[in-house]
Copies of this chain bind each other. A is one copy, B any other.
Amino acid sequence: MLRTSHRIALIPGDGIGIPVLEAAMTVAEAAAPGLLEPTGFPWSCEHYLQTGRMMPEDGIETLRGFDAIFLGAVGWPAKVPDAVSLHGLLLPIRKAFVQYANIRPHRLLPGVEGPLRKDGFDILCIRENTEGEYSGAGGRVHQGTGDEVAVETAIFTRTGVERILRFGFEQAMGRRRKLASVTKSNAQKYSMVFWDEVTRDLALEFPEVEVSHYHVDAIAARMVMAPETLDVVVASNLFGDILTDLGAAIQGGLGFAASANIDPTRKGPSMFEPVHGSAPDIADQGIANPIAAIWSLVMMLDHLGEPAVAARIMAAVEATTARGIGTVPGRDSTDQITAAVLAALEE
């Protein structure tokens, strides 16, 4: 069978981003030798300290030629303020390539005991990734005085809201055909009433999808009380940010939380990254769980049109956790977990 390989920009970043990306690439190479053709980039806080930039000035242009970007984790607050590291690498990539859909699956892998008594849930959170509450618009007056006022403006556009909801409806069609649209329209009467209206418009185009409107407070509670009732959840940048950390929590923690930053129009590369950060506190201990990174690899392979390889790797991950390997934070080493996934691939 003839296979073309896919060119991948590898950005391990900081801290545990480095070992987990290495683990995931080892698994990829074992599962399908030569399928991924990686080029590594050392862009990180270390790089910033040496060069004064998180990535070179032509970084975005460099990345444009790749089929996908695979990122470990960025940030090391003790060395470089988050404002610099995140706004110098992660967020510009998401915006430059219009990766407007941030997708995060939340379910318990076999063998993982989550914090909830319930276990039978399978949620796909879809977070708007380019505008909304993280538009960066605002200002401060009378700074540092008793009269200071700070404002922060959320900006929502028809283009931005419609495309993320449309993507959500399409995903729902390939799943259990339920979509939860998240707002807070009883308290935010401009942005969130608008979001509700766009949801209603799109619902007409997808009559097979059962749509529910939730306020963000109510759906946060529902993710804890009755997560099994949710299928696809579509939320704004901020609400999606909060709900996906909550989703990571109910699936057992950040060690299992994978994500994709997708441009569904495929004009530029999409980016895949574990949700966890660089975790400076455990960076040198060899105990970072590579499962979130490997699951993100699986999402990348699916996106690249390699569902068979993706499914084989996911099955190996599930066989590994089903044996109790990698299921308890900090117990098994990165190497042990990776070796177990590699062994499961051979079976």
Contact = CB atoms under 8 A, between A and B. Distances in A.
Contact of A115 (B116, B151, B191, B193): B116
B224 A190 contact: no
Interface string A36-52: 00000000000000000
Interface stretch (A17-25, A245-253, A281-289, A330-338): A245-253
Contacts of A186: 82-83, 86
Interface in A277-297: none
Interface stretch (A4-12, A56-64, A137-145, A299-307): A137-145
Contacts of A147: 158
Given A118-B115, A246-B221, A152 B151 contact: no
Contacts of A137: 151
Contact of A217 (B115, B155, B191, B242): B242
A253 B225 contact: yes
Contacts of A142: 158
Contacts of A188: 133-134, 138, 152
Contacts of A174: none
Interface residues of A, number: 61
Contacts of A241: 184, 187, 216-217
A189 interface: yes
From A136, A159, A249, residue with most partner B Cβ within 10 Å = A249
Interface SS, A side: mixed
The oligomer's copy count stands at 2
Interface string A233-265: 000011001101110111001100000000000
A134 B216 CA distance: 14
Nearest to A153: B153
A162 to B, nearest CB: 8
Contacts of A191: 138, 150-152
A42 to B, nearest CB: 23
A220 interface: yes
Interface of A: 82-83, 86, 113, 115-118, 133-134, 136-140, 142, 145-159, 184, 186-194, 216-218, 220-222, 224-225, 237-238, 241-242, 244-246, 248-250, 253-254
Given A115-B116, A151-B154, A221-B253, 9 more contacts: A115-B118, A115-B224, A116-B224, A136-B189, A142-B158, A187-B238, A217-B242, A220-B249, A221-B246
17 contacts: A86-B187, A115-B224, A116-B117, A117-B117, A138-B191, A146-B159, A149-B155, A150-B193, A151-B156, A151-B190, A151-B191, A152-B191, A153-B153, A184-B241, A217-B242, A220-B246, A224-B250
